[in-house]
């Protein structure tokens, strides 16, 4: 609804959204569509947040430096994107997946490792055990689950030491945590990991491409969702290079500051990770639980690697392009080729302690190590890439890491309830605030739309 009274016209907007990523953009669209006056402020000089598409500058087609995956059950994202005129393309390629484990190159036709390989039965049973643990914790209010305190006192590494005998299986679990959270098992609370697996519909879903969380992507790049929303609400209502330093609220309004600049609104949505929100000074101070959450929940350490070739030669050899390497680089890799691209693409993710080892190398050493791994996995044709690109998310000033927040022991059970709770006229979004698919674009859209709905009710 549109507000026309004197109080409303004295404000710059009904709602100010801090963050022009997919979550803030989804919130802005929902409020704009019902007639509310919105402004979006963004610290970066670009729209998209943790979705970061470069439409030009990379040979072969647009390149996604950040979030890009659409899962088959990502209903809110799919509905939003298709309503904006975007098209999806499937991500999975036919052929065998590849595992590099303790020097051996193993193939997995139809995403299934040979059960006769010594460590495979224990690996499969450990995944089932993780899913059972995740189901017991749930995704709605994990801090209220029966064993929350006990699980939050342990790390994932402790659980692996207690339940897994095989070194190979422990390494595989470590790589899964590395690739999904950008952290190591010894850094992550077991309660948080169980919750994360639960809210993403199980570990097989999290790992899957052809029918899992990496099912598809947007033709032309993921940031188009936010770009098209900006066009719909009016680009003049999205203020870039507008880093928020302070937020003040009272009983009637909120004032948002960027240095000496200020804007006034009835409500504010903080659409970013807890760590990023911690760069803002709030007056009055946030409640203890929210303040502690923002201080104690770091972002992962993460490289996203992309290498392009003249053709998908790996598919011609019977390989899907999916690669799990626990030895050399410590990377999770998949085929990222889109039908509109003129070059074929392999995309890799390096996180946690693998990132730490990677970061101290020179750019040339990193590229060389990555190409050597691809030669080992897919043969000599991998030796001559057309293009190599890497994105270090720890070097992004405002994101401060990627791909998502993780929680060490002692955080989720004590302070997790503050993830989604508004503080007066301040509401929180960002993918971390979602009840389901936190860490994905879907979670960002859900959290943004939920915050918008809460404000819409308050504005009635």
Instruction: Pick out the residues of the known binding site for FAD.
Output: 23, 42-43, 244, 432
The sign of the CA dihedral 114, 115, 118, 119 is positive
Pairwise CA distance, residues 437 & 435, whole Å:
7
User: Which tokens hold the place of 42?
Assistant: 């963004």
The sign of the CA dihedral 225, 228, 243, 452 is negative
- Rounded to 5 degrees, φ, ψ at 24 are -65, -35
Q: Cis before residue 403, ω within 30 degrees of 0?
A: yes
- Radius of gyration of the chain from its Cα atoms, rounded to whole angstroms: 22
Closest to 426 in 3D by CA, of 229, 246, 237, 239: 246
Strands 38-41 and 238-239: parallel
Annotated binding site for substrate: 349
Closest to 458 in 3D by CA, of 246, 248, 254: 254
Annotated binding site: 23, 42-43, 244, 349, 432
The backbone region for 277, taken as left when phi is positive above 0, alpha when psi lies in -120 to 50, beta otherwise, is alpha
By CB neighbour count within 10 A (0-12 exposed, 13-18 middle, 19+ buried), where does 259 fall? exposed
Closest to 169 in 3D by CA, of 125, 109, 108: 125
Q: What angle do CA 320, 57, 83 make, to 5 degrees?
A: 70
Closest to 420 in 3D by CA, of 402, 438, 394, 404: 438
């Amino acid at each position: 609804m549109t507000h026309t009274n004197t109080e409303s016209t004295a404000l710059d907007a009904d709602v100010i959204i801090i963050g022009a990523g997919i979550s803030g953009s989804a919130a802005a669209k929902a409020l704009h569509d019902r007639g509310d006056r919105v402004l979006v402020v963004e610290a970066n000089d670009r729209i998209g947040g943790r979705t970061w598409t470069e439409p030009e500058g990379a040979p072969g087609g647009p390149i996604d430096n950040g979030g890009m995956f659409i899962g088959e059950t990502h209903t809110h994202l799919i509905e939003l994107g298709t309503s904006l005129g975007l098209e999806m393309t499937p991500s999975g390629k036919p052929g065998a997946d590849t595992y590099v484990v303790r020097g051996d190159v193993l193939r997995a036709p139809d995403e299934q490792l040979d059960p006769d390989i010594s460590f495979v039965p224990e690996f499969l049973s450990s995944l089932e055990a993780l899913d059972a643990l995740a189901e017991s914790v749930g995704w709605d209010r994990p801090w209220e689950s029966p064993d929350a305190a006990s699980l939050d006192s342990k790390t994932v590494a402790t659980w692996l030491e207690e339940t897994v005998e095989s070194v190979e299986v422990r390494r595989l679990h470590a790589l899964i945590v590395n690739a999904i959270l950008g952290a190591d098992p010894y850094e992550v609370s077991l309660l948080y990991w169980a919750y994360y697996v639960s809210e993403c519909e199980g570990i097989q879903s999290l790992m899957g491409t052809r029918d899992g969380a990496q099912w598809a992507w947007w033709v032309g790049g993921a940031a188009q969702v936010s770009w098209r929303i900006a066009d719909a609400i009016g680009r003049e209502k999205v203020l870039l290079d507008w880093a928020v330093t302070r937020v003040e609220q009272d009983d009637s309004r909120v004032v948002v500051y960027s240095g000496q600049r200020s804007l006034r609104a009835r409500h504010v949505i903080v659409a970013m990770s807890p760590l990023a929100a911690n760069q803002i000074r709030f007056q009055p101070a946030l409640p203890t639980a929210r303040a502690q959450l923002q201080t104690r929940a770091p972002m992962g350490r993460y490289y996203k690697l992309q290498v392009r070739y003249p053709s998908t030669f790996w598919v011609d050899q019977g390989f899907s392009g999916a690669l799990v390497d626990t030895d050399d680089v410590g990377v999770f890799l998949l085929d990222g080729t889109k039908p509109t691209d003129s070059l074929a693409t392999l995309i890799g993710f390096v996180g946690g302690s693998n990132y730490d080892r990677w970061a101290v190398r020179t750019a040339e050493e990193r590229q060389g190590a990555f190409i050597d791994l691809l030669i080992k996995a897919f043969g000599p044709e991998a030796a001559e890439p057309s293009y190599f690109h890497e994105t270090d998310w720890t070097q992004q000033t405002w994101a401060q890491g990627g791909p998502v927040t993780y929680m060490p022991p002692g955080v989720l059970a004590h302070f997790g309830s503050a993830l989604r709770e508004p503080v007066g006229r301040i509401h929180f979004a960002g993918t971390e605030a979602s009840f389901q698919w936190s860490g994905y674009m879907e979670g960002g859209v859900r959290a943004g739309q939920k915050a918008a709905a809460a404000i819409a009710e308050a504005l009635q």
